[in-house]
Amino acid sequence: MMGRRGVRSGQLLVGRAVWRAAVRWRAAVTRELSQLGLSFSEWLVLDATWQLMLELDDAVNQAMVVVRSGLDKMTVSRAMRALEASGSVTRGPDLSGPAYRIFVTKRGEHLARHAEQCVNRLSAQGVSLA
């Protein structure tokens, strides 16, 4: 019978294994995305923006992207500026308030689809928990 310490130790081992696998997955995804000219956070922001646009069939604002992506406001803002500079998104004033209306461009849609395929391929290959 495993004592309390053994259960905690087993949970810790599983947690560490999951963490290591997540770190390896992120490193592999980051390498693939860099070949597309995207950082990991830019991909998360582009993907969140694209998915929201598909769901709403309209432009989105940055606050919505923050919530969907799980990233902080500053990270989303930096990534959004980079995506705008690369022509992947366009931003314009929102008549209902101080926020920008954000659209994913055709280039951004193509990039998002390609990135999604790369991430799905890497995820399907799996990452060892060892």
CA 40/CA 79 separation, integer angstroms: 9
Q: Which of 7-11, 98-102, 110-114, 122-126 has the highest mean pLDDT?
A: 110-114
Q: Is the pLDDT of residue 42 over 70?
A: yes
CA 79/CA 14 separation, integer angstroms: 33
3-state helix, strand and coil shares in percent for the chain, rounded to the nearest 5: 70, 10, 20
Q: Is the pLDDT of residue 41 over 80?
A: yes
CA 60/CA 63 separation, integer angstroms: 8
- The separation between the first and the last C-alpha atoms of the chain, rounded to the nearest angstrom, is 25
